[in-house]
Amino acid sequence: MTPNTGDWSASADVLGQFFYILLIFAIVILLFLFCARRFASLRYGGKGRNLRVIETCQVGAQSCLQIVRAGGRVFLIGVTKDRVSLVAEITGEPLNIADNATVFENFLKKKEGGA
């Protein structure tokens, strides 16, 4: 009894199932990427946010200074591993973020000129 080598339907069926599983896998991956981008934009870049970190400056291994806009007010805060401290509220003329100078440089110039 010799095997029937002329029957290609079994191997074509296995190949079809392989491509079907591959297609389903690709659809799941694309759906995952779409959801991940959507949720990330809602969490970090959503419209209508009242709280935004304008700029961050590392000052140590586990500490940094951040300029934060909360509603219509702007604050300079210090952030360490264990705490967040208010350093100053930035008032006066609005911050110009489009300049080549950073927001921190503008803030320091205002403090030096006003002191």
Residue 23 and residue 43 share a domain: yes
First to last CA, the chain: 102
Please report whether residue 3 resides in a domain.
no
Residue 37 and residue 56 share a domain: no
Residue 63 and residue 43 share a domain: no
Please report whether residue 2 resides in a domain.
no
Q: How far apart are CA 4 and CA 36, in angstroms?
A: 50
Amino acid at 90: I
Instruction: Answer yes or no: is pLDDT of 96 > 70.
Output: no
Average pLDDT over residues 73-88: 91
Domain that holds residue 69: 51-114
Please give the pLDDT value at position 68.
87
Residue 37 and residue 14 share a domain: yes
Q: How far apart are CA 28 and CA 22, in angstroms?
A: 10
Number of structural domains in the chain = 2
Q: Is the pTM of this model over 0.85?
A: no
Residue 58 and residue 30 share a domain: no
Please give the pLDDT value at position 100.
44
Average pLDDT over residues 1-27: 78
Please report whether residue 1 resides in a domain.
no
Residue 64 and residue 40 share a domain: no
Amino acid at 92: G
Structure token pair of residue 75 = 């604050």
pLDDT band at 114 (very low <50, low <70, confident <90, very high): low
